[in-house]
């Protein structure tokens, strides 16, 4: 039994086949794993490492650099309020104060029921709708305090399920084809594969068709040439 579902692992292998080197699929696969769990569980990290051919520490070390990859559990709804320049000029800090009061947590915190995580975010490229925020990556703009309260109420009541997918779901559309340019070229296979046989067709099922079988096997070892990175603690996210 794997922790990540079998179809997820199959799709992860197909993502690997899209790149000249397997390690390139590391971040896309982390996003995929978050679709299942909302964050990167240690079990998931182990399986991702196996699929891309690096150590779990390398996956963790890479993931911890990025804001969107959670190495700790986050609430079901991650509410990221932008407080950068354009939003600040439109009252974003008032909105953040209000949000902290409404949810009873400080920015960076998660409500005890696990429903909401609140973030003091950087610009999310929605500055024409300032002040704006994202919930699980989906935009809401020009928010007044009352509208924020209504948003929270609707999220609690599950009324925005259509608009706001579960936390961790980045892209609801699956790639439907593998690499085709070199089909029949005979040399599309890069490196040798010592990984288990990849399923030859998609097992995604339903509407989310996976990548169709491509010619490439998952090469291993591509990630080992990585630079040695300075041991340093990230400052991101600190207030």
Partner 1 sequence: MALTGAPRIVTSRIGYEDSYTLERFLATGGYDGLRKALSMSPEEVSAEVNTASLLGRGGAGFPAGRKWSMLRAAPTTYLVVNGDESEPATFKDHLLLERDPHQLIEGVMIAAYAIGAAQVFIFIRGEMALGIERVTQALNEAYEYGAVGRNVLGSSFSVDVVVHPGAGAYICGEETALLESLEGKRGFPRIKPPYFPAAIGLYGEPTVVNNVETMSNLPWIVLNGGAAFAALGSGSSTGTRLFALSGRVNNPGVFELEMAKTTFKDLIFDKSLGNGIIDGKALKAFIPGGVSAPWFSPDQVDMHLDQDEVGKAGSMLGSGSVVVMDETTCALRAAWRITKFFWRESCGQCTPCREGSGWLEKTLWRIENGEGREEELDMLMDVCDNLAPGLTWPPQQTTICVLGPSIPSSIASAIRMFRDELLVHVKEGRCPFA
168/10 Cα distance (integer angstroms):
19
Q: Is 68 in the site for partner 1 (CB under 8 A)?
A: yes
State which residue, 4 or 82, has the beta carbon closest to partner 1: 82
State which residue, 104 or 142, has the beta carbon closest to partner 1: 142
Indicate which of partner 1, ligand FES, none lies near residue 132 (CB less than 5 to 8 Å, by partner kind): ligand FES
| Residue labelled with tokens 């000249």 | 20
Q: Is 69 in the site for partner 1 (CB under 8 A)?
A: yes
State which residue, 60 or 100, has the beta carbon closest to partner 1: 60
CB 52 within 8 A of CB 59: yes
Among 33, 74, 82, 135, interactor with ligand FES by CB under 6 A:
82
Tell me, letter by letter, the H, E, C secondary structure of 185-203. Answer: CCCCCCCCCCCCCCCCCCC
Size of site (CB under 6 A) for ligand FES:
12
Binding mask 90-119 for partner 1 (x = CB under 8 A): ------------------------------
State which residue, 49 or 124, has the beta carbon closest to ligand FES: 124
Among 87, 95, 143, 155, interactor with ligand FES by CB under 6 A:
87
Q: Is 126 in the site for ligand FES (CB under 6 A)?
A: yes
Phi, psi of 103 (to 5 degrees): -90, -10
State which residue, 85 or 171, has the beta carbon closest to ligand FES: 85
Q: Which two tokens stand for residue 130?
A: 């300032």
Instruction: Pick the piece of the chain touching ligand FES (CB under 6 A) from 46-54, 67-75, 85-93, 99-107.
Output: 85-93
Interacting residues with partner 1 (CB under 8 A): 18-21, 23-28, 30-31, 52, 54, 61-63, 65-69, 83-86, 88-89, 122-128, 130, 134, 136-139, 170-177, 179-183, 223, 226-227, 229-230, 232, 234-238
């Amino acid at each position: 039994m794997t922790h990540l579902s079998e179809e997820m692992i199959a799709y992860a292998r197909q993502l690997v086949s899209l790149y000249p080197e397997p390690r390139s699929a590391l971040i896309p696969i982390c996003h995929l794993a978050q679709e299942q769990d909302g964050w990167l569980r240690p079990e998931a990290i182990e399986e991702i490492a196996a699929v891309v051919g690096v150590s779990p520490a390398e996956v963790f070390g890479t993931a911890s650099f990025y804001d969107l990859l959670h190495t700790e559990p986050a609430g079901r709804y991650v509410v990221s309020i932008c407080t950068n320049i354009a939003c600040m000029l439109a009252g974003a800090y008032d909105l953040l104060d209000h949000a902290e009061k409404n949810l009873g947590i400080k920015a960076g915190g998660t409500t005890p029921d696990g429903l909401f995580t609140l973030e003091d975010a950087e610009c999310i490229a929605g500055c024409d709708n300032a002040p704006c925020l994202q919930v699980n990556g989906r935009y809401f703009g020009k928010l007044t305090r009352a509208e924020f309260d209504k948003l929270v109420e609707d999220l609690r009541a599950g009324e925005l399920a259509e608009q706001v997918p579960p936390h961790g779901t980045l892209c609801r559309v699956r790639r439907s084809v593998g690499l085709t340019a070199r089909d029949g070229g005979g040399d599309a296979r890069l490196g040798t594969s010592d990984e288990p046989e990849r399923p030859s067709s998609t097992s995604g099922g339903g509407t989310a068709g996976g990548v169709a079988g491509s010619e490439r096997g998952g090469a291993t070892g591509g990630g080992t040439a990585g630079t040695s990175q300075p041991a340093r603690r990230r400052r991101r996210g600190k207030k």
